[in-house]
């Protein structure tokens, strides 16, 4: 018999926490999990899943216009925000139920309470004291706040899915994927959108030429961009709107302010310092390649470690940890060539090195591009061009990076990521017969 209540206890019921708990239980471990809010975490409850559903809904604004060129007559077009919001939140409820059922079917004990360390093996979970041989922290991250007066007048991505009505105008602070995705959503749904960035660059991790194309298209669609404008003060107007004063003295006003300025790790209040778990300067949990913290029996996966803040990465980290600890199959996550996407309008996707990174790292590179209008856009008279780029190592002819912006770019990139990850050469890509007519065929026709 074990000296502990559980072989494995997971703090946090997000994607990484649910996966590691389920896999560990499947290996025969006695597993408990604490989630103080809702099972599913940021991705399912207030992140990528509901946001992608809003993106689908928003894109109908363009599709209904384009339909007329394809012979369709669409009369009395109108949009009801509360219908979309209601259906999205109901889908979130459904998925949360599925996550919970998965844990229960694997006999994971779920506690809907906050867990706090008392010592390396002991947790206070609500009003219970629970002990565990091994503990995994999977508490994720939270939306960042402005370091200025009036920060409480902004909403974050946590609240945006619950708005009672759409704003006529919105300021979105941030230059990352969250800011640009919500900019596209609100713009398509009819709000006047202004993206305000504290620096002079958007989407720093993405290829420069693809980001430039996204900004060009977004500007034509009516989104405004303000750069080098860190906030000095946020005020509430008498009519309920907001007034922002930048450090440069500029004043910006709108009905709503959305803060999308990064996601700091959720480590506050867990009592980690007293237990001896080391944190980075940014408050993330410091772990080794096997997700082990500075305390031998305590581990951490997902956004709380701030390695790569992506749901599929958290899932793989949690799976690897459970297999290693309880499955007799030790393995670690390979962080090389992780594909990613920005679900803007149109979306961006990439894998591997950007052109700039390849030139700095490899020296000799060859760049192949295709700049074209998708067939659907041509007939719709929509002057919106896609851009595909392949980055090739001159010495080995291997494909080391791929970048694209255009309809369905993330769907296409998932398959292309296999080629980059596998180290296929440009000649092997060229030898692949095209599927015609498709946008994706451009990838095998670049010469």
Known catalytic membership, residue 436: yes
Residue 201 marked as a ligand binder = no
Sign of torsion over alpha carbons 198, 199, 202, 205: negative
Residue 262 marked as a ligand binder = yes
Q: Rounded to an integer, what distance in angstroms lies between the CA atom of residue 262 and that of residue 216?
A: 24
| Coil, strand or helix at 121 | coil
Residue 412 marked as a ligand binder = no
User: CA 442 → CA 104, 409, 416, distances in Å?
Assistant: 46, 12, 12
Residue 178 marked as a ligand binder = yes
Residue with tokens 């997700």: 291
Residue 177 marked as a ligand binder = yes
**Helix (H) or strand (E) run with residue 118 in it:** strand 115-119
User: CA 70 → CA 56, 65, 372, 377, 437, distances in Å?
Assistant: 20, 10, 20, 11, 17
Residue 179 marked as a ligand binder = yes
Residue 174 marked as a ligand binder = yes
Residue 327 CB: number of other CB atoms within 10 A? 18
Residue 302 marked as a ligand binder = no
User: CA 328 → CA 78, 185, 331, 336, distances in Å?
Assistant: 57, 46, 10, 25
With a CB cutoff of 8 Å and minimum separation 6, the contacts of 104 are 110
- 59, 208, 403, 436: the active-site residue: 436
Residue 364 marked as a ligand binder = no
Binding residue positions = 52, 174-181, 262, 303
**Residues tagged active-site:** 436
Binding residue positions for NAD(+) = 174-181, 262
Binding residue positions for FAD = 52, 303
């Amino acid at each position: 018999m074990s000296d502990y209540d559980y072989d494995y206890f997971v703090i946090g019921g997000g994607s990484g926490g649910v996966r590691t708990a389920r896999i560990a239980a499947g290996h025969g471990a006695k597993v408990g999990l604490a989630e103080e809010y809702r099972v599913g975490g940021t991705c399912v409850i207030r992140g990528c899943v509901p946001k992608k559903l809003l993106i689908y809904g928003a894109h109908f604004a363009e599709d209904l216009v384009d339909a007329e060129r394809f012979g369709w007559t669409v009369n009395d077009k109108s949009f009801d925000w509360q219908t979309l919001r209601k259906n999205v939140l109901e889908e979130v409820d459904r998925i949360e139920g599925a996550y919970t059922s998965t844990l229960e079917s694997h006999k994971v004990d779920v506690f809907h309470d906050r867990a706090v360390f008392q010592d390396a093996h002991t947790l206070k979970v609500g009003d219970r004291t629970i002990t565990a041989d091994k503990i995994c922290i999977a508490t994720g991250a939270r939306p960042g706040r402005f370091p200025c007066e009036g920060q409480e007048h902004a909403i974050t991505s946590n609240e945006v899915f619950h708005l009672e009505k759409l704003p006529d105008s919105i300021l979105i602070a941030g230059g990352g994927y969250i800011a640009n995705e919500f900019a596209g959503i609100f713009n398509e749904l009819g709000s006047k959108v202004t993206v305000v960035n504290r620096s002079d660059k958007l989407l720093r991790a993405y290829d420069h030429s693809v980001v430039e194309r996204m900004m060009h298209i977004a500007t034509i669609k009516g989104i405004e961009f303000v750069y080098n404008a860190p906030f000095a003060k946020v005020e509430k107007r008498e009519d309920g709107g907001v007034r922002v004063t930048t450090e440069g003295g500029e004043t910006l006003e709108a009905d709503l302010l959305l803060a999308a300025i990064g996601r700091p790790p959720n480590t506050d209040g867990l009592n980690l310092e007293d237990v001896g778990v080391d944190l980075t300067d940014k408050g993330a949990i410091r772990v080794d390649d096997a997700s082990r913290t500075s305390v031998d029996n305590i581990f951490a996966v997902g956004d709380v470690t701030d390695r790569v803040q992506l749901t599929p990465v958290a899932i793989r980290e949690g799976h690897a940890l459970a297999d290693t600890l309880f499955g007799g199959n030790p393995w670690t996550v390979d962080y090389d060539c992780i594909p990613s996407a920005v679900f803007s309008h149109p979306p961006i996707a990439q894998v591997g090195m950007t052109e700039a990174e390849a030139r700095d790292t490899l020296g000799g590179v060859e760049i192949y591009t295709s700049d074209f209008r998708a067939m659907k856009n041509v007939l719709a008279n929509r002057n919106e061009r896609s851009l595909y780029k392949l980055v090739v190592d001159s010495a080995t002819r291997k494909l080391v990076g791929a970048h694209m912006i255009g309809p369905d770019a993330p769907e296409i990139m998932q398959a292309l990521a296999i080629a980059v990850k596998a180290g296929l050469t440009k000649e092997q890509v060229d030898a692949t017969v095209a599927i015609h007519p498709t946008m994706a065929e451009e990838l095998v026709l670049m010469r």
